[in-house]
């Protein structure tokens, strides 16, 4: 009777109503607030606080380049389309403008009132041009004459010199002038574009430094010597400015015959696409702002007036130049899996049982060794690999090239459309093809986001398959900064599934049903819905039910509605969502059993883990994709089970439970979409990342 009543109650409440969903873009801005909070946190090492300040600025750049740019395009096309929250593009832009202006104001407050004063106390100074002493002025004058003056090209605006093309995110100056030049011209306005080849932050030599580290901004040097650029004229105003442009590459994949050529043709346009944001100093006169907004077809709410350099990212150079280990996170050496310490032969180690690695707490080197040993092993016949993002001088890429040179069958699926890595991936594709590898760009209309490697090895009279599946990229650099899982196995069902996915990516036709792997865009979404519904049914029948899910973003509305339904049925749902979350917790009668937390700390939380109680025989899945529309329907993703009992227990404890008990770096999502940091109260301080570092690092 109670079960029937509960089902009726669930149906009576409209869980799909817009007020039950948080806005995607505003949720992303909330994430950036949490990143910025790390820059305020005095328990974070000082140079790391500076790093977080710069990361928050970089995040805002990408937000405008992609998210705001997309919304502006929708408005320009007259679109009234809204998401589950029912907010139109115009409404979103207004809300974004309000929130973004607050965030930018806070960024510069943190810089001016918190970070820079703290750096000064540690003898690290960014010198204002009004405070340069005589020696410093002389050196800076020489630097300007030697490094800047020969390559600067001021443009005085007149009919023969129209407003110049301004590169995306470049440093520029608008200068007001009085007087006439040698030709009798007096336009009153000139534009100076800072050379891209020069550093934006210049360290003064010890011969003229007053402190251990003295820095000056390139913008200050140009500003101070603006008169030298216009001899015989008077500079009455000099103001830096920066334009952010639409950086999303729009390629009609259905209409192009060669995706690589199409992308190569689109890359240059990114530099001069439509403007979406103007940054100027807070002392810039309104008439100058009006002039610039007119030139770039922007509105007043697209203008961000700042108290400092228009690009905070340039401060990142300080943490790279300053040699002060005491102001950074202490170094650590990643742990090595026990079986890999005893056995240098990676294939012998995997044959003894599945290997699960938790990066960055455990070393990424075994994954590199997996491909490197495969390249050198005469028994290896073929290597198949997906590549989404890699670093320069990648050891994995070198190994694939070596394998191709050795005559092995090397197949690489490269995702050319990995945002902001398109150019590097095109070069990578050309390099691999030149070595003799078979290069594929995946499936038109679906980004290949799955992280998987397949090695086929002859052992006696049989061929044996070895597989690596991961939640992160094959990028050794980010493997030291992102939390991810890597899984090495010879499981016949999984290796067969992976081989079929590769066949699907590189050939035509249907590759058959998967035995264990859930794959987007086919079974990942439906598989997750079935598992959520199974927990809901268990709860309706009075049985224990629990869902724990860790991911980067939660957006897809059908999944959110399924979680609401599970919550209504009595399922306890714990979500660990680092970034965007459109689910609104704590709604009476809908999501009272759902809690959402976000962890922001030293490492970027990147692993995707899905736990389902299953009446005590719990199941755990690791995935390359989040619970987002794009991951379910427009990407090729793999979601794979962790089945070995000790391994499941390990993931449950280290990947989920430790994070649910974190009370130092965790934030709780409120019903209104804001986040509050979880206070430790009287409990002992617990940090998931610190605990894992202590557990694994040597």
Distances, alpha carbon 148 to alpha carbons 280, 314, 316, 321, in Å: 22, 18, 22, 22
Question: Would you state the structure tokens that stand for residue 277, as one six-digit string?
Answer: 């944001």
What is the distance of C-alpha 37 from the center of its chain?
17
> Across the strands, what pairs with 335?
362
Say whether 267 sits in a helix, a strand or coil. helix
Q: d(Cα 341, Cα 628) in Å, to the nearest integer?
A: 38
What is the distance of C-alpha 142 from the center of its chain?
40
Please say whether the beta carbons of 321 and 199 come within 8 A.
no
State the greatest distance between any 2 C-alpha atoms of the chain, in Å, as a whole number.
95
Please say whether the beta carbons of 415 and 448 come within 8 A.
yes
Residue among 603, 655, 662 at smallest CA distance from 360: 603
Q: Who's near 130: CB < 8 A, 6+ residues apart?
A: none
Pairing of β 608-612 and β 518-520: unpaired
Query: 190 exposed, middle or buried (CB, 10 Å; 0-12, 13-18, 19+)?
Result: buried
From the candidates 337, 358, 359, 449, give the one annotated as an active-site residue: 449
446 is catalytic: no
Please say whether the beta carbons of 607 and 622 come within 8 A.
yes
Question: Would you state the structure tokens that stand for residue 378, as one six-digit string?
Answer: 């005469």
Say whether 336 sits in a helix, a strand or coil. coil
Q: d(Cα 644, Cα 655) in Å, to the nearest integer?
A: 16
Question: Would you state the structure tokens that stand for residue 460, as one six-digit string?
Answer: 């006696």
Q: d(Cα 13, Cα 423) in Å, to the nearest integer?
A: 49
Which positions are catalytic?
449
């Amino acid at each position: 009777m109670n079960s029937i009543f509960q089902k009726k109650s669930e149906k009576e409440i409209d869980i799909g109503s817009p007020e039950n969903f948080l806005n995607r873009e505003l949720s992303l801005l909330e994430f950036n607030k949490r990143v910025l909070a790390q820059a305020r946190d005095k328990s974070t090492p000082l140079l790391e606080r500076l790093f977080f300040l710069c990361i928050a600025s970089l995040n805002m750049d990408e937000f405008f380049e992609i998210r705001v740019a997309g919304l502006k395009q929708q408005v320009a096309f007259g679109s009234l389309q809204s998401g589950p929250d029912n907010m139109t593009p115009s409404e979103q832009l207004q809300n974004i403008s309000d929130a973004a202006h607050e965030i930018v104001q806070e960024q510069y407050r943190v810089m001016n009132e918190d970070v820079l004063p703290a750096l000064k106390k540690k003898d690290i100074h960014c010198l204002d041009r009004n405070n340069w002493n005589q020696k410093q002025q002389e050196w800076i004058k020489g630097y300007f004459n030697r490094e800047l003056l020969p390559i600067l090209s001021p443009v005085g605006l007149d009919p023969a010199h129209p407003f110049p093309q301004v590169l995306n995110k470049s440093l520029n100056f608008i200068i007001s002038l009085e007087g006439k030049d040698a030709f009798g011209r007096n336009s009153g306005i000139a534009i100076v574009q800072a050379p891209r080849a020069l550093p934006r932050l210049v360290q003064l030599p010890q011969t003229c430094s007053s402190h251990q580290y003295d820095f000056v901004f390139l913008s200050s040097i140009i500003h101070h010597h603006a008169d030298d650029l216009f001899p015989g004229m008077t500079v009455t105003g000099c103001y830096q400015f920066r334009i952010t442009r639409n950086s999303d590459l729009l390629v009609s994949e259905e209409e192009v015959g060669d995706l690589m050529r199409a992308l190569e043709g689109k890359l240059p346009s990114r530099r001069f696409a439509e403007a979406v944001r103007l940054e100027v100093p807070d002392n810039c006169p309104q008439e100058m702002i009006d002039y610039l907004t007119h030139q770039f077809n922007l509105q007043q709410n697209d203008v961000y007036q700042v108290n400092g350099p228009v690009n905070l990212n340039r401060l990142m150079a300080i943490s790279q130049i300053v040699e002060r280990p005491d102001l950074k996170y202490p170094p650590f050496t990643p742990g090595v899996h026990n079986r890999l310490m005893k056995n240098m032969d990676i294939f012998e180690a995997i044959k003894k049982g599945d290997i699960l690695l938790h990066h960055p707490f455990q070393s990424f080197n075994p994954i590199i060794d997996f491909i490197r040993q495969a390249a050198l092993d005469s028994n290896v016949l073929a290597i198949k690999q997906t590549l989404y993002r890699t670093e320069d001088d990648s050891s994995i890429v070198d190994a694939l090239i070596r394998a191709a040179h050795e005559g092995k069958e090397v197949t690489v699926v490269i995702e050319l459309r990995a945002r902001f890595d398109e150019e590097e991936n095109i070069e990578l594709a050309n390099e691999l093809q030149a070595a003799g590898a078979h290069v594929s760009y995946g499936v038109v209309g679906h980004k290949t986001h799955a992280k998987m490697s397949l090695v086929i090895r002859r052992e006696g009279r049989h061929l044996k398959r070895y597989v690596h599946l991961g939640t992160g990229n094959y990028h050794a650099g980010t493997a030291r900064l992102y939390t991810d899982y890597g899984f090495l196995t010879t499981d016949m069902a999984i290796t067969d599934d992976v081989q079929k996915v590769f066949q699907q990516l590189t050939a035509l036709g249907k590759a058959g049903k998967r035995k264990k792997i859930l794959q987007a865009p086919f079974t990942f979404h439906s598989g997750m819905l079935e598992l959520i519904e199974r927990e809901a049914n268990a709860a309706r029948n009075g049985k224990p039910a629990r869902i724990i899910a860790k991911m980067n973003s939660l957006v897809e509305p059908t999944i959110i509605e399924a979680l609401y339904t599970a919550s209504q049925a009595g399922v306890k749902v714990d979500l660990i969502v680092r970034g965007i979350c459109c689910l609104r917790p704590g709604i009476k009668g809908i999501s009272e059993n759902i809690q959402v937390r976000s962890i922001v700390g030293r490492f970027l939380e990147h692993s995707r883990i899905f736990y389902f109680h299953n009446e005590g025989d719990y199941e755990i899945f690791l995935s390359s994709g989040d619970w987002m529309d794009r991951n379910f329907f427009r990407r090729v993703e793999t979601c794979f089970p962790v089945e070995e009992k000790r391994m499941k227990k390990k993931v449950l404890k280290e990947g989920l439970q430790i994070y649910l008990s974190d009370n130092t770096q965790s934030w709780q999502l409120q019903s209104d979409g804001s986040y509050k940091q979880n206070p430790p109260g009287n409990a002992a301080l617990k940090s998931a990342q610190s605990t894992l570092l202590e557990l694994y690092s040597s």
